[in-house]
Amino acid sequence: MVPLNYYLLLSAVLFVIGAAGVLIRRDLIVILMSVELMLNAVNLTFIAFARSLGSMDGQVIVFFVMTVAAAEAVVGLAIIISVFRHHRTLDPRQMQLLKW
Amino acid sequence: METLSLLRLIPLVPLLGTGANIFFGARLGRKNAGLLASAAVAFSFLLSLWIFVLLPATGSFRDTLFTWIESGSFKAQISFQVDALTAVMLLVVTGIGFLIHLYSLGYMGHDEGMVRYFAYLNLFIFFMLLLVLADNLLLLFVGWEGVGLCSYLLIGFWHQDHTNTIAGNKAFIVNRIGDFGFLLGILLLVWELGGQGVWGIDFITLKGSAHLLAPEKVTLITLLLFAGATGKSAQIPLYVWLPDAMQGPTPVSALIHAATMVTAGVYMTARLHFLFTLAPATLAVIAAIGALTALFAATIALAQNDIKRVLAYSTVSQLGYMFLAVGVGAFSAAIFHLFTHAFFKACLFLTAGSVIHGLQGEQDMRKMGGLKERMPITYWSHLIAALAISGAPLTAGFFSKDQIIWQAYTGPNGTVCLWLMAWITAGLTAFYMFRQLFMVFHGECRAAEHVRSHIHESPRVMTVPLIVLAFGSVFAGWLGPPEFMWGSAWDRWLGPLFGAVEEVAHGDKGQEIFFMLFTLAIAGAGLYLAYLAYLRGINFPGYLSSWAAGFPYRLLVNKYYIDELYDLLWVRPFTGISTWLAKFFDVAIIDGIVNGVAERVRGSGLFWRRLQSGNIQHYLLGFLTGTLMMLAYYLYR
């Protein structure tokens, strides 16, 4: 059986990649994908612990997270489409109307 | 001590008159507003008269409304009382007040602000009645401040003219200086009596426990109270406001600045006679200031040319007489002079008002003259009142003033020096009064041509009060003639109140008659000199005015430069400091602190707003960093 640490390490790596993507990339769609990546990294942790501890709680939470993530993707993509129609760009640096 | 709950109506009805005029005056119309105000005072007068008849010689009536202040053992009530002294004051205030209301109906008949005028006048009557009816010192103080307020409002009644508002301010501020002393006196009195375990401020308690106070404390308390009296009753050094108060309408000068309000100080000392007699040092001070004021103001009155200013200085001088009487311990003589003075001085002011009315606002006596035929009623009233104030035999002033002059010598604290000052003042009084009479009513008419053709006698609503007051100027004195004539009803009425306090000097008859003749002689001399100078044209005033390079004359015309002196000593330094505070301290320090705080906040905002870049990824970075730091804190603490 694969030891717990491997899973945790993998999910940590995935989370950091996701976080870096959110902070660095210049495209809203990629940023949204990176957020999904972070969520799934967390899901992986939950599953790994549930398996390791023999408890169902973690798996239940993962279902919740997946539901929320689906809803979030729907709303997020809708906003992105609307933003694109308005600005003709998806670069977050161009969207600074709310500063000061 | 009987309870009589009608008492509250005496002050309340004029107060209702004020309220009605303030709220419904515009709808009532000017004439009705004036009639309403007069009716309110007439009601108070009739009620006062009735109470005067009911009042037993040594008893008193009381009416307690409610407890005003209660703190620990200390208690002050809204409560009225009437005894012999208050009854006299009530009649003076409401009686003369009513006549002057009537007169005002004519005098102010064409004025835009008549409704406001009558509202103020009724308010004044209310506060004055509060002052004389109060059964404790705190309530008296409320009335005391209230009449000061009304005085201020009425001096500056024609507020469109800036000099009037300045005069009003001056009166108010000078009075406040005196009132500060008065308030300190009340507080010290309460404090000291409280130290003896007596917590009360009503006159009966005070009278019963005045002997508990240490003598030096009594002296201090009475001196402070007298400081209030010097302000309200225009004595040296705070008399300066009264001549300026003549800027107000003439009936106001008659009512407030001659007959009633300015006598509040005399009333207060008489009311607290049991305290003042415990402090011989204070009485000596009062007598000295009274005599000095009488003489000083009379000399100024010699050289004034404004018809009302002569009367104003005359009022200051007569008030000096009253305080002289208080100072020598002759309280009932002081109140008697207050009583008679109210008649003839109100009469003089109202005749002056009638003259001013007839001459379309002219107040300079050099531009009058020869009005005798054109205004006969005014002339005769003025003549009778002038005779009364000069002390012509069998007039009111003759009895009241002679009694004071005599008491100044023979009274418990009388001295030759006081008598001499009072005696000289009597001569000066006769001189300046008849100088005025001759300048205004006799000789050639010096008025401008367009004014001269319009000179007319005043309407009846104004002349009737003049006639009544002229009668009072003669017969009011008959209540208190000396013992050798037909005995003083006045002393029998007020004597028991002052009781053992006042040892009326019953010197021998011959001496009293001798003093009387002596005073008559100087008054007659003053009258005769005025006759020579202003009717026969013997120009010795012209010679005197140029004597010693005109210096003494200029001193008198300029009122001894007292206003200038006060200006230099107090007003200028004060305004200087105020200006410095406003221009420098307020701008640099106060505004500096406020603006400095605002500037720092703004500066820090300018700096920190750079955090708000608007770029969502920057915020997310901050978010992540924060989370990591919190995590690190929990893991490694």
Residues B127-151, mean pLDDT to the nearest whole number: 93
Spell out which residues of chain A touch residue B611, defining contact as CB-CB under 8 Å. none
pLDDT of B504 above 60 = no
Using pLDDT thresholds of 50, 70 and 90, give the confidence band for residue B501: very low
Length of chain B equals: 637
Lowest mean pLDDT among A81-95, B24-38, B421-435, B497-511: B497-511
Taking alpha carbons only, the member of B233, B247, B248 closest to residue B315 is B233
Is the Cβ–Cβ distance between B304 and B433 less than 8 Å?
Answer: no
- Highest mean pLDDT, choosing among B142-146, B528-532, B609-613: B142-146
pLDDT at B506: 56
The tens digit of pLDDT for each residue in B98-109 reads 999 999 998 888
Q: Is B56 helix (H, G, I), strand (E, B) or coil?
A: coil
Cα gap B236→B317, rounded to integer Å: 10
CB contact under 8 A, B614 and A92: no
Shortest Cα distance, chain A CAs vs residue B586, angstroms: 35
% of chain B with per-residue pLDDT over 90: 52
**CB-based contacts of B46: which residues, under 8 Å, 6+ apart?**
none
CB-side neighbour CA atoms (13 Å) of B434: 24
Q: What does the DSSP assignment read for B85-146?
A: HHHHHHHHHHHHHHHHHHHHHHHTTT-TTHHHHHHHHHHHHHHHHHHHHBSBHHHHHHHHHH
The tens digit of pLDDT for each residue in B353-384 reads 999 888 888 888 888 888 888 889 999 999 99
Residue of A nearest to B613 (CA): A99
Token reading at A18: 């996701």
Q: Mutate which of B619, B620, B624, B631 to test chain A, going by most A C-beta atoms within 10 A?
A: B620
Tell me which residues of chain B have a C-beta less than 8 Å from any C-beta of chain A.
609, 612-617, 620-621, 624
pLDDT at B113: 86
Backbone phi, then psi, for B80, in 5-degree steps? -110, 150
Is the Cβ–Cβ distance between B372 and B362 less than 8 Å?
Answer: no
Cα gap B121→B462, rounded to integer Å: 17
Give the full edge-to-edge strand order of the sheet including B61-71.
Answer: B2-3, B61-71, B74-82
pLDDT of B544 above 90 = no
Cα gap B477→B397, rounded to integer Å: 7
User: What Rg, from alpha-carbon coordinates, does chain A have?
Assistant: 17
Q: Mutate which of B609, B611, B617, B623 to test chain A, going by most A C-beta atoms within 10 A?
A: B617
The tens digit of pLDDT for each residue in B412-456 reads 778 889 999 999 999 999 999 999 999 889 888 887 777 777 788
Is the Cβ–Cβ distance between B435 and B529 less than 8 Å?
Answer: no
Is the Cβ–Cβ distance between B129 and B14 less than 8 Å?
Answer: yes
pLDDT at B169: 92
Is the Cβ–Cβ distance between A48 and A8 less than 8 Å?
Answer: yes
What sign for the dihedral angle of Cα B95, B99, B102, B107? negative
Residue with tokens 């100088």: B435
Residue of A nearest to B606 (CA): A100
Spell out which residues of chain A touch residue B609, defining contact as CB-CB under 8 Å. 100
Query: Which of B609, B612, B615 comes nearest A92 by C-beta?
Result: B615
Taking alpha carbons only, the member of B248, B10, B308 closest to residue B120 is B248
CB contact under 8 A, A93 and B613: no
Using pLDDT thresholds of 50, 70 and 90, give the confidence band for residue B402: confident
pLDDT at B111: 84
Residue type, B634: Y
**CB-based contacts of B5: which residues, under 8 Å, 6+ apart?**
B63
Residues B590-614, mean pLDDT to the nearest whole number: 90
Is the Cβ–Cβ distance between B75 and B67 less than 8 Å?
Answer: yes
pLDDT of B503 above 80 = no
The tens digit of pLDDT for each residue in B313-365 reads 999 999 999 999 999 988 888 999 999 999 999 999 999 999 988 888 888 88
B533/A10: higher pLDDT: A10
Q: What does the DSSP assignment read for B172-201?
A: HHHHHHHHHHHHHHHHHHHHHHHHTT----
Which helix (H) or strand (E) element contains residue B69? Answer: strand B61-71
CB contact under 8 A, B613 and A96: yes
Residue of B nearest to A19 (CA): B624
Is the Cβ–Cβ distance between B358 and B371 less than 8 Å?
Answer: yes
Shortest Cα distance, chain B CAs vs residue A15, angstroms: 12
pLDDT at B365: 87
Cα gap B254→B455, rounded to integer Å: 22
Shortest Cα distance, chain A CAs vs residue B609, angstroms: 7
**Bond before B237 cis per omega within 30 degrees:** yes
Q: What does the DSSP assignment read for B436-492?
A: HHHHHHSS---S-HHHHTT--PPPHHHHHHHHHHHHHHHHGGGGS--TTTT--HHHH
Q: Which residues pair with B2 in a beta bridge?
A: B61
Shortest Cα distance, chain B CAs vs residue A99, angstroms: 4
Residue of B nearest to A31 (CA): B617
**Per-chain mean pLDDT for chain B:** 88
CB contact under 8 A, A19 and B614: no
Cα–Cα distances in Å, from B427 out to B348, B414, B531?
18, 20, 13
pLDDT at B502: 45
Residues B520-534, mean pLDDT to the nearest whole number: 88
Backbone phi, then psi, for A17, in 5-degree steps? -60, -45
Cα gap B210→B223, rounded to integer Å: 15
The tens digit of pLDDT for each residue in A31-65 reads 999 999 999 999 999 999 999 999 999 999 999 99
Taking alpha carbons only, the member of B360, B374, B247 closest to residue B312 is B247
Is the Cβ–Cβ distance between B222 and B276 less than 8 Å?
Answer: yes
